[in-house]
């Protein structure tokens, strides 16, 4: 697992804790879905957090793997974002299975950028609504 952190980003990331679904595509591992959280977000990339109980991210080849994020944007559309993995590290602040993954978005369309911007505006306007949506999402996936 690469523990290095690349700080080559050109814009500020919005701190955010928001649920998402993701699918890992890797030659070393069959397609695998996870539930995770956005930790921070920009129009260029994101940092996500998830639990990797079986250390699947230890066996992937980062340069050949990709992650597809699925995000339900409040009062917007469900967006799918194809990403490249920049780095992976263990989350020292969380339980032993928690990892952080730095992602770079691949070729976003205008409507995807608009949805990311919508999420950022909603976060700034009504943080409580985000927490309510998070609670609703957690109830949906626990059924």
Kindly report, residue by residue over 70-117, the tens digit of the pLDDT.
998 877 778 999 999 999 999 888 778 899 999 999 999 999 998 888
Instruction: Report the DSSP beta bridge partners of residue 45.
Output: 104
State how far the Cα of 37 lies from the Cα of 46, in Å rounded to an integer: 10
The pLDDT of residue 136: 75
Residue 52 has pLDDT above 60, yes or no: yes
Helix (H, G, I), strand (E, B) or coil at 29: strand
State how far the Cα of 75 lies from the Cα of 69, in Å rounded to an integer: 18
**pLDDT-derived band at 2, boundaries 50, 70, 90:** very low
State how far the Cα of 133 lies from the Cα of 82, in Å rounded to an integer: 23
């Amino acid at each position: 697992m690469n523990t290095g952190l690349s700080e080559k980003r050109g814009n500020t990331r919005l701190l955010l804790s928001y649920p998402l679904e993701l699918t890992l595509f890797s030659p070393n591992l069959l397609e695998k879905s996870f539930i995770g959280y956005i930790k921070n977000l920009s129009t260029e990339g994101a940092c996500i957090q998830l639990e990797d109980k079986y250390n699947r991210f230890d066996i992937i080849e980062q340069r050949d793997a990709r992650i597809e994020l699925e995000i339900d944007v409040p009062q917007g559309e469900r967006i799918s974002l194809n990403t490249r993995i920049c780095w992976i590290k263990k989350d020292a602040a969380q339980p032993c299975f928690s990892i952080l993954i730095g992602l770079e978005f691949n070729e976003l369309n205008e409507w995807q950028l608009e949805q990311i911007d919508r999420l950022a505006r909603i976060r700034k306007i009504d943080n409580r609504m985000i927490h309510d949506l998070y609670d609703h999402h957690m109830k949906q996936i626990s059924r």
